[in-house]
Amino acid sequence: MSWQHQESFRTDLTTWEIGPYHGALPAPMRLRLSLDGEIIAACSVETGFLHRGLEKAFELHSWRASISYADHLDPEVAIFGELALCLGVEEIGEIAVPPRAQRIRVILAELSRISAHLVYMVRMARAVGSETIVHYLLRDREKILDLFELLTGARFSFNFLRFGGVSSDVTDGFIERVLEVCEMIRIRMKEYNDLFTFNHAFLMRTSGVAPLLAKQVKQFGITGPNARASGVDFDVRKTHPYMGYDQLEFKIPVGLGEEGMVGDVHDRFVIRLRELSQSMEILKQLSELLPSGEFLNEKIDLEYEVPSGEAYVRVESSRGLLGCHVVSDGGPRPNRIQFRPPTLGNLMAIPSLVEGVRIEDLPVVLASLDLGIAEADR
């Protein structure tokens, strides 16, 4: 006799759990939301659904194999995991990296940054339901993946860096192709800005939404483009230069809140666009600066053993400061390899960031944080 039940329509707080798999989420995670109507009143985040025991896996395999595991730290931008690990080992073993190898590494890193920022824009476009720009951006990213394939033989998971250099030299015409792709993306980006970045409907969805305050950046240890969008001028490439970044000229764009507030979703989006053009500047300089010589330190052969010691290094990945703590006991396998992924800070900021945001904006806010859940869950 169900029609005799009293129907109730409550207007107090509602709870809603989304995840681990939901269209609103950029990656597997679970959000417990408390909703006041359509406004998020509170939120808690549960992660760990992508835990693979990666740091333990390092300890079970040889030093050489560790590079291919570092690829999987963040499959989207594999190069930064490799780079951090190699820098750590090179610091322990005091291995010199030939200048040519350094440049090749930077080329790969900056191309990865461009590719990652394109994917970031794809996720933002998906979150606001703009399917056309998704296809355009993925089409351009394919060109970068082609370059990766040309240089390393793989489109993802390169396993390309070696302790003391890289595994192979660039082929003839590679640099020219890099510049061609950069030029193509630069030209097209103008068109995309008209279509998307400064589209009125997109601005309505992003400007003034969920601003991240500089105070919160400090509180949660947020780095990378998200921190810079909030006005915190911090970039490892400038503050702790590595791989010869100090010899390159580039600017660190900082959020200005042109379309709303400093550090809002649109600022986080635009800051990545600006970084993209800075990365292209770097690539342009590298094409002129690429020195001749070795691409791998000759002393490092298959029998190389990492001496005992420990090192902590940091690189600027596409998401922020990626730290790597490498400990060696002189044995055939790493004693401990530990990463400090930038996504952790972003994850911790979610509850305070989405408080007071409309539930419809949740996918947009989450996409704007550029969460690399693989590196956070490890």
Partner 1 sequence: MSSSPAWVSAWLDAWGISAGLPEWVSASISVAALFLLILVPSATLISYLDRKLSADFQARVGPNRAGPAGLFQPLADLLKLLQKETRREWSWKENLWLIIHTMALYSTLAVIPLGSLALMVDTEMSAFLPFWSALVLALGTMLLGLGQGSVPGWFGGIRVAAQTLAGCFPALIALLCAGMRTGSFRWSVLASSQGFMPWQWTCFSNPFQLIALMVFVMSGLVLLEISPLDGGHSMSDIHGGVASHLYGRRFSLFNFGRFYGFFFWSVITVVLFLGAWNLPYHLVERLKDWGAVRLLGILELLLILTKTFFVMLLVVWVARVSPRSRVDQITDFAWKVLSPFSLVALVGASIWAGWRAFQ
DSSP 120-154: HHHHHHHHTT-HHHHHHHHHHHHHHHHHHHHHHS-
139 binds partner 1 (CB under 8 A): yes
42 binds partner 1 (CB under 8 A): no
Do residues 156 and 78 lie in contact, with contact meaning Cβ atoms separated by under 8 Å?
yes
Pick out residues in 166-185 that bind partner 1 (CB under 8 A).
none
Distance separating alpha carbons of residues 162 and 301, to the nearest angstrom: 10
38 binds partner 1 (CB under 8 A): yes
Residue environment code for 133-171, b if the CB has 16+ CB neighbours within 10 A, otherwise e = bbebbeebbebbeebbeebbeeeeebbbbbbbbbeebbe
94 binds partner 1 (CB under 8 A): no
Distance separating alpha carbons of residues 326 and 83, to the nearest angstrom: 12
DSSP 140-194: HHHHHHHHHHHHHS-SS----EETTEESSPPPTTHHHHHHHHHHHHHHHHHHHII
Bridge partners, 233 (sequence order): none
User: Which is closer to partner 1, CB of 166 or CB of 367?
Assistant: 367
Distance separating alpha carbons of residues 78 and 71, to the nearest angstrom: 5
189 binds partner 1 (CB under 8 A): no
Selected range binding partner 1 among 74-82, 120-128, 154-162, 170-178, rule: CB under 8 A: 120-128
Sign of CA dihedral 378, 353, 122, 28: positive
Query: How many chain residues are in contact with partner 1, going by CB under 8 A?
Result: 32
Selected range binding partner 1 among 194-202, 219-227, 230-238, 304-312, rule: CB under 8 A: 194-202
Selected range binding partner 1 among 92-100, 126-134, 153-161, 321-329, rule: CB under 8 A: 126-134
Task: Output the smallest distance, CB 362 to partner 1, in A.
Answer: 5
Given 363, 371, 377, 378, the residue binding partner 1 (CB under 8 A): 363
Q: State both tokens at 214.
A: 């500089």
Task: Output the smallest distance, CB 136 to partner 1, in A.
Answer: 6
Peptide bond into 20 cis (omega under 30): yes
Do residues 157 and 77 lie in contact, with contact meaning Cβ atoms separated by under 8 Å?
no
126 binds partner 1 (CB under 8 A): yes
202 binds partner 1 (CB under 8 A): yes
User: Which is closer to partner 1, CB of 127 or CB of 344?
Assistant: 127
Selected range binding partner 1 among 56-64, 119-127, 159-167, 318-326, rule: CB under 8 A: 119-127
State which amino acid sits at residue 240: H
30 binds partner 1 (CB under 8 A): no
199 binds partner 1 (CB under 8 A): yes
Given 63, 69, 136, 192, the residue binding partner 1 (CB under 8 A): 136
Distance separating alpha carbons of residues 163 and 336, to the nearest angstrom: 17
353 binds partner 1 (CB under 8 A): no
22 binds partner 1 (CB under 8 A): yes
Task: Output the smallest distance, CB 176 to partner 1, in A.
Answer: 25
120 binds partner 1 (CB under 8 A): no
Pick out residues in 205-244 that bind partner 1 (CB under 8 A).
205
Distance separating alpha carbons of residues 287 and 348, to the nearest angstrom: 39
Pairing of strands 165-166, 161-162: antiparallel
Provide the binding-site residues for partner 1, judged by CB under 8 A: 14, 16, 22-24, 35, 38, 125-132, 134-136, 139, 195-196, 199, 201-202, 204-205, 358-363
